[in-house]
Amino acid sequence: MGRVAGSYGVRGWLRVERAEAALGECSKWWIGGQEYSVEEAKWHSGDLLAKLQGIEVREAALELKGSEVAVEREALPEPEEGKYYLTDLVGLEVVNGRGESLGVVKKMFTNSAQDVMEVVAGEKTRLVPWVAAVVKEVDLAKRRVTVEWEADW
């Protein structure tokens, strides 16, 4: 859902980068295998700032730097029509417009430009950008993503 980028101020606030919008609405976070209650969260310059219970000083916040932030799936609101949580895409089969299987989504990640699917088929790995020009349809019920992508790319 995001990654702790560092502290914010001297009172134990965390700065979370690459945070999904729903993270700011969750009252419990998991960081480094430990559960934290969120006292307050707000957006600032594209990052999510959060004050967690038990993290009172800058040094304590800095100890979490680099850690991934997770929440329980049940705590997330249902995504809007046409929107997906990246974790829900892992394991889906990826096919092109001709119906050729390109593999299965092994993981999703974000680079500085867009989200990217890592699609694996046997020994072959493809990095497919998650952009409208490439991703044509997502069918969670059929566990399939249809893309504009050739099998030999």
For the domain that residue 134 is a member of, what is the CATH number?
A: 2.30.30.240
Per-residue pLDDT, 83: 87
100 and 61 in one domain?
A: no
Average pLDDT over the chain reads: 94
**Residue 6 and residue 71 in one domain:** yes
Q: What is the mean pLDDT of residues 135-146?
A: 96
Q: How does pLDDT run across 55-96, given as a tens digit for each residue?
A: 999 999 999 999 999 999 888 888 888 888 888 899 999 999
For residue 38, which of 25, 52, 24, 49 has the smallest C-alpha distance?
A: 52
pLDDT of residue 105: 98
Regarding whether 70 and 90 lie in a shared domain, the answer is no
User: How far apart are the C-alpha atoms of 40 and 52, rounded to whole Å?
Assistant: 7
Output the pLDDT for position 6: 96
Tell me: pLDDT of 109 over 90: no
Using one digit for the tens of pLDDT, what is the confidence trace for 27-53?
999 999 999 999 999 999 889 999 999
Structural domain for 104, as ranges = 86-147
Task: Measure Cα distances from 115 to 13, 58, 84, 128 in Å.
Answer: 27, 31, 12, 9
Domain boundary among 75, 94, 122: 75
Nearest Cα neighbor of 50 from 74, 27, 68 is: 27
| Total domains, the chain | 2
Assigned token pair, 73: 């799936």
